[in-house]
Amino acid sequence: MSMSLILVIGACALLAIGMPVAFALGLATSIAVLAVGKFPMIVVLKETFTGIDSFPLMAVPFFILAAELMSGGSLTMVLLRFASQFVGHKRGGLGYTNIASLTFFSGISGSALADAAGPGSMMIKMMDKAGYDRAYSGALTASTAIVGPIIPPSIIMIIYGLQDERVSIGALFVAGFVPGILIAIAMSVVNWHISNKRNYRGDGAFPPWNEVWRNTLQAVPALMLPVLILGGMRAGWFTPTEASVVAVFYALICGKFMYRTLEWKALPHILIRSALLTASVLIIIGFSAAFAWVLTVERIPYTMGEWIAQLQLSPWMLLVAINILLLVFGIFIEPLPGVMVLVPILAPVTAAAGIDPIHFAMIVIFNLTLGMITPPVGGLLFVTSNVAKIPLADLTRELKPFLMAHGVVLMLLTFIPSLSTGLPNLLGFK
């Protein structure tokens, strides 16, 4: 039996019994190498370490720390007030506020789970008190929270940039803006339809302009973080890794001196939480790298490329086939290991078909992120269900219109490449 077959069967079996993804990939890799006996076991450790031994990867802990510092500075309430003043008074206003606040927060957290557990959990409680169906509030939150990894700064984009040398991390950051905005618009359309159908009323009237001005000024420092990161990278002031350090200092200044809500005594707790989150990300990356190494040694990318070439698919048909593969894969595997395993296999195939690498990157990231809210396994569904105290079956039932809207966005991104490539090309990112 080949090493790759043992690898895939072992990983599927371990995932089926509920083993965490990182350990399932690591153990399956070890079993495959041990069973075949072609390589010493030390190779697994070497490839795992090599997977995380990267200067650009040093950005991950700093971006996580920056998000934790901003969250520790009561940023959530600042963004909620800022978003609510413009849309809260309309029919379905709290739904729009939920969408807007999650979209704004995604430019700081870079995580779908952080979006759902932070502003998302607060909005579910507010919507529940205002008479919204709790399952609907949870479905809206989960469906919108996937903008977290798409709007920069994004950890998954850093990982993607390491897997495909044709694209820069800066270009991926910029490319995520338009897809992220499209997701917010699509979720708003669904909220408009359901709010009118169920008569979800707005919350009060439009606030006085002096209050609008005050709330906007409070939100500006937080909203400037993505602008600072991308502007500095575009101007050549710093690399993505250096930008993550700048983000930490900026977040510290905002939390302590601008919002004045970050206490020095809270820093040890924030540092510990950031370290734990970083460790959980890096262990996934390390074991995924070892898993991908086995596939490379077995020439799986080359074999698959030859097989697809024989099918003689047009670029558009190839993208449709890849969409289906990614959607199915994303249901069972988290986005980070999904990127590390699939991108080395699929990127050469799409390059041969003449598909723009940034266009392909956005399709991969969107599909794998969408898997987080796709039943029955979607991890974001379990987080939202737990945070909002909603039965998973009720949450899944309310997801249908949101999944349809995401499908429309996916088709737009697939068949209109400029939605992904236009902004990076305009700003000179490659």
Query: pLDDT per residue over 236-295, tens digit each?
Result: 788 888 888 888 888 888 878 877 777 788 888 888 988 888 888 888 888 888 888 888
Give me the pLDDT at residue 410, please. Answer: 95
What tokens were used for 225? 């973080």
- Asked which of 113-117, 214-218, 336-340 is least confident by mean pLDDT, the reply is 113-117
Give me the pLDDT at residue 72, please. Answer: 55
Q: Using alpha carbons only, how large is the chain's radius of gyration in Å?
A: 22
Mean pLDDT of 31-53: 85
Whole-number Å distance between alpha carbons of 163 and 52:
12
Q: Is 214 exposed, middle or buried (0-12, 13-18, 19+ CB in 10 A)?
A: middle
Q: Higher model confidence: residue 378 or residue 19?
A: 19
Q: Higher model confidence: residue 396 or residue 74?
A: 396
Whole-number Å distance between alpha carbons of 163 and 158:
9
What tokens were used for 110? 């870079």
What tokens were used for 95? 């739904």
Instruction: Determine the residue type at 34.
Output: L
What tokens were used for 365? 């990231």
Q: Compute the residue count for the chain.
A: 430
Query: pLDDT per residue over 321-366, tens digit each?
Result: 899 988 888 887 788 888 888 888 888 888 888 899 999 999 999 9
Peptide bond into 376 cis (omega under 30): yes
Helical packing angle, 267-297 and 42-52, nearest 10°: 120
Burial 79-105 (b: 16+ CB within 10 A, else e): bbbbbbbbbbbbebbbbbbbbbbbbbb
Per-residue confidence band for 73, with pLDDT thresholds at 50, 70 and 90: very low
What tokens were used for 322? 């890849």
pTM, two decimals, is 0.85
| Residues in Cβ contact with 180 at an 8 Å cutoff, skipping those fewer than 6 apart | 103, 106, 147, 150, 151
Percentage helix, strand, coil for the chain under 3-state DSSP, each rounded to 5: 80, 0, 20
Whole-number Å distance between alpha carbons of 76 and 262:
13
| Residue corresponding to tokens 């895939």 | 8
Q: Please tell me the number of Cα atoms within 13 Å of 219 on its side-chain side.
A: 22
Query: pLDDT per residue over 128-185, tens digit each?
Result: 888 888 889 889 988 998 888 898 888 889 889 888 888 988 899 999 999 999 999 9
What tokens were used for 367? 């599909």
Is the separation of the CB atoms in 123 and 156 below 8 Å? no
Give me the pLDDT at residue 74, please. Answer: 63
Mean pLDDT of 298-302: 74
Is the separation of the CB atoms in 178 and 94 below 8 Å? no
